[in-house]
Amino acid sequence: MSSLKEYFHTDWAAMTLNDWIGTIVTVGAFLAILGMTIHVFRPSNKERFESQRNIPIDDERLGTEDRE
């Protein structure tokens, strides 16, 4: 590798449809995860998420028809 520019060079004209779809999906997933992370860790949303933190382990929320 002679330089980083050559190492990271991409031949955009040679990319196939599958390459473009994969690139778009990857960038979209990255942006979605980044957005969700920022949303969850924003201090103004702390109370809303703290009030829901016990939902996965709260057995009282289940109706009697769901219990066996």
Encode pLDDT of 13-36 as tens digits.
999 999 999 999 999 999 999 999
- Written as six digits, the tokens of 5 are 């520019």
Report pLDDT for 65.
57
pLDDT greater at residue 62 or residue 38: 38
How far is 21 from 56, CA to CA, in rounded Å? 35
Report pLDDT for 32.
98
CB 62 within 8 A of CB 68: no
Out of 41-45, 48-52, 58-62, least confident range = 58-62
Interacting residues of 59 by C-beta distance below 8 A, sequence separation 6+: none
Report pLDDT for 50.
85
How far is 37 from 33, CA to CA, in rounded Å? 6
